[in-house]
Amino acid sequence: MAAKSTAKSGSKGASKGGKSSPSKGKSSTAKTSASKTKTSASKSSSKAPAKKSAGRSTAAKSNSGLMKPLQPSKELAQVVGDKPLPRTEAVSKIWTHIKKNNLQNPQNRREILADDKLEPVFGKKKVTMFEMNKLLAGHLK
């Protein structure tokens, strides 16, 4: 492919009336390959910071607040159990209960229709899935 570009650049120079030789076209190709070498060298040096980002596993551990076991209230314990569990697991168990008992509104799947176990937790018969997480926060200490 480099040979094609050299031939084109050689013919362009000749059409302009300048005295260009095919060697000039080759030297520009050589410069391009030299710049590619520099670019690849800079790419290899850019890999070093990428290794630093892989070392951020300690930053992921700082999210332990999300994984901290919390004690559910009496009302919530009827659905998720009475043992302390992380907030994520409590939400997961609530969703399992909702899907198992078909408590999503068929017309608006974002709404949850509370049954006898969930109504004391939510405080009302119908909540949105976004409201649900806010209401659960009050039942996890």
CATH of the domain at 123: 1.10.245.10
Rounded Cα distance, 136 and 141, in Å: 10
Please report whether residue 76 resides in a domain: yes
Please report whether residue 36 resides in a domain: no
Please report whether residue 104 resides in a domain: yes
Give residue-wise pLDDT tens across range 64-117. Answer: 777 899 999 999 999 999 999 999 999 999 999 999 999 999 999 999 999 999
What's the residue count for the chain? 141
Percent of the chain with pLDDT over 90: 52
Give residues with Cβ within 8 angstroms of 10, minimum separation 6.
20, 21, 22, 24, 25
Please report whether residue 45 resides in a domain: no
Q: How many domains does the chain have?
A: 1
Contact (CB, 8 A) for 122 and 114: yes
Residue 59: what pLDDT? 47
pTM of the model: 0.55
Please report whether residue 88 resides in a domain: yes
Q: Which domain holds residue 84?
A: 70-137
Please report whether residue 92 resides in a domain: yes
Classify residue 104 by its DSSP letter.
B
